[in-house]
C-alpha cells in the first residue's frame, strides 16, 4: 500500500501539496530547467502540473510504439524479461537541462533507461525525481552519478 499514489490523486488538496513540495524542491535546487520528462505512465500525472508551475515544457518518455515520428529507443532488463522505452528524436536539444519524473523508484531499470535516452539526445539530466523510493530494492544505486531525489522512502 505504501507505493499506491491513488489516494493523492483522489484528494485535490493532497495532490496540490505534493506538487507544491516538488516545485519548492526544484526551484531551490536548480536555477534553470528546460524540461520535465515524465515516464510512462504515472510520470504523466506528476510532470505536466509540475512543468506548468515552473513555466517550462513537458516531454514524454513512452513504451515502445506509442510515439509518432522518429524516435530514440532503449531496451532494458526487467525482473521478468525486457522492455523498451522511447522518446521523440526532437524532444530535447543537445545541452538542454532536464528533470526526469516518475511516481516510484523500485529496481531503477526504467529510470536508468530514461537517463540513457537523454544521454543519447545529449541532454543534461539534472535529477531523477520520484514521489516514493523503495530503498530495499536499491534502485538509486543504479543511477550512479545522476542526482536523485525522493519525497518518501520505504525500507
**According to the model, what pLDDT value does residue 2 have?**
59
Question: Could you tell me which residue, 155 or 3, shows the higher pLDDT?
Answer: 155
Bridge partner residues of 40 (DSSP): none
> Does residue 104 have a pLDDT over 60?
yes
Residue 108: name the closest of 135, 82, 70, 71 by CA: 135
What cell was used for 71? 524516435
Q: Residue 80: its pLDDT value, please? A: 83
For the chain, domains (ranges, CATH) are 31-153 (3.40.50.2020)
Half-sphere exposure of 32 (CA within 13 A, CB side): 4
The span from the CA of 155 to the CA of 142, in Å, is 17
Of the pLDDT bands very low, low, confident and very high (cuts 50, 70, 90), residue 118 is: very high
* CA neighbor of 118 nearest in space, from 63, 60, 66, 68: 60
DSSP 11-43: -HHHHHHHHHHHHHHHHHH-S---EEEEETTTH
Active-site residue (options: 23, 27, 72, 79): 79
- Catalytic: 53? no
User: What strands, in cross-sheet order, belong to the sheet with 35-39?
Assistant: 71-78, 81-88, 57-63, 35-39, 97-105, 124-134, 148-154
d(CA 86, CA 69): 11
pLDDT digits (tens, 9 = 90+) for 12-60: 999 999 999 999 999 999 999 999 999 999 999 999 999 999 999 999 9
Cα–Cα distance measured from residue 118 to residue 60, given in angstroms and rounded to the nearest whole number: 11
Is the whole-model pTM more than 0.85?
A: yes
Q: What is the mean pLDDT of the chain?
A: 95
Give yes or no: 79 in active site: yes
Active-site residue (options: 23, 27, 42, 62): 42
Q: What angle do CA 20, 25, 29 make, to 5 degrees?
A: 150
Portion of the chain with pLDDT greater than 70, in percent: 99
Amino acid at each position: 500500500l505504501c507505493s499506491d499514489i491513488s489516494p493523492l490523486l483522489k484528494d485535490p488538496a493532497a495532490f496540490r501539496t505534493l506538487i507544491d513540495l516538488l516545485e519548492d524542491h526544484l526551484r531551490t535546487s536548480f536555477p534553470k530547467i528546460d524540461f520535465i520528462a515524465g515516464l510512462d505512465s504515472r510520470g504523466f500525472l506528476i510532470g505536466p502540473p509540475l512543468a506548468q508551475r515552473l513555466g517550462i515544457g513537458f516531454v514524454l518518455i513512452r513504451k515502445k510504439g506509442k510515439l509518432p515520428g522518429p524516435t530514440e529507443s532503449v531496451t532494458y532488463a526487467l525482473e521478468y524479461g525486457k522492455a523498451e522505452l522511447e522518446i521523440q528524436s526532437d524532444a530535447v536539444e543537445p545541452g538542454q537541462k532536464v528533470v526526469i519524473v516518475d511516481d516510484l523508484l523500485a529496481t531503477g531499470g526504467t529510470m536508468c533507461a530514461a537517463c540513457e535516452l537523454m544521454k543519447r539526445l545529449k541532454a543534461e539530466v539534472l535529477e531523477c525525481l520520484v514521489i516514493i523510493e523503495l530503498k530495499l530494492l536499491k534502485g538509486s544505486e543504479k543511477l550512479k552519478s545522476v542526482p536523485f531525489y525522493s519525497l518518501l522512502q520505504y525500507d
